[in-house]
Amino acid sequence: MDRQSLETEIGYLLGDPQHSRWSVTKLRERIEYAQQQVQALTNAIKQVNTYTPVADTKEVTVGSDIVDITRATFTDSSGEIRPLTGKSRIDWDFYHPNWENEDSGLPTEFSYDASNRQVILRPKPSSDHANADALKLWEVNIPTVLSGSTSEPFEANQAMQNYAMSIVHWVVAQCFQDDGTPEALSKSRFHRSNNVDDPGEFEKWIKLINSKFNAVTEIPARVKWYPQGGRVGGIGRPSKTNPLG
């Protein structure tokens, strides 16, 4: 489904096939935003890029269009490719308070700082490991703009073409909101409810995409705790003072 097909389908569902109520220009603006929303919610399309780290520097500047990073590897001085474990800076501050002062070495973990467009490596790479293209990232990027009528969404990825109707329903819902009447808002909610527990058509497509593509991030959330009291240093069978054994 190319851009022209998207515009045609949107016009039919809006009851505006001639685009007299909603101009093609307005539809194209919303089509672009819709495919960005789908990409952000699903992490469906990933691109692999390599970066060269600087010795004794933990930060690596990455592209400006990255929405998320789902996987990272680091090639060491011997050429062996090692997966990096994704962690948040909060994790590091909590479990390794002195991490910013650690000696350089072979990175084993990374964190993505989206605000500053940087990947942070821990430990920072030493001169032995700061090799060309050592860092490889699986990036979720903002989709390319549909510049022509035959341009296909989602980077023309064939696996995603079956889900192009997600864009249609997002745009239709947004357009119905323009009227603001109870009837129009009801139609808008049918197409996009903004509630995954009571999904509209858009959310149904998002669920289908997430069931097909890997949508997890490399940096999971976790509950943080320290053993306390009788649990500290306890070994052996579980007991009231040592319930973890």
Domains recognised in the chain with CATH numbers: 3-44+145-212 (no CATH), 47-141 (2.60.40)
pLDDT band at 73 (very low <50, low <70, confident <90, very high): very high
Tell which wins on pLDDT, 188 or 242.
Answer: 188
pLDDT of residue 93: 95
Q: What tens digit of pLDDT does each residue of 212-240 get?
A: 886 445 555 566 655 665 555 555 556 66
Percent of all residues in the chain with a pLDDT value above 70, rounded to a whole number: 87
Residue in the structure block whose two tokens are 């289908």:
208
Q: pLDDT band for position 244 (50/70/90)? A: low
Task: Output the pLDDT for position 213.
Answer: 80
Residue 89 pLDDT > 80: yes
pLDDT digits (tens, 9 = 90+) for 171-215: 999 999 999 999 999 999 999 999 989 999 999 999 999 988 864
Q: State the pTM of this model.
A: 0.78
Q: What's the pLDDT score for residue 215?
A: 45
What pLDDT, on a 0 to 100 scale, did the predictor assign at position 58?
A: 96
Say if residue 26's pLDDT is above 90.
yes
Q: Give the C-alpha distances (Å, rounded to integers) separating 92 from 85, 86, 110, 204, 214.
A: 12, 11, 10, 37, 26
Paired residues of 75 in beta bridges? 81
CB 140 within 8 A of CB 69: yes
Secondary structure class of 133 (helix, strand, coil): coil
Across the chain, mean pLDDT equals 90
- Nearest CA to 170 out of 15, 4, 17, 36 is that of 36
Q: What distances in angstroms separate CA 159 from CA 95, 173, 179, 211, 227, one per listed residue?
A: 40, 25, 35, 13, 47
Check residue 2 and give its pLDDT: 96
pLDDT value of residue 222: 60
pLDDT of residue 245: 59
The answer to whether the beta carbons of residues 10 and 17 sit under 8 Å apart is no
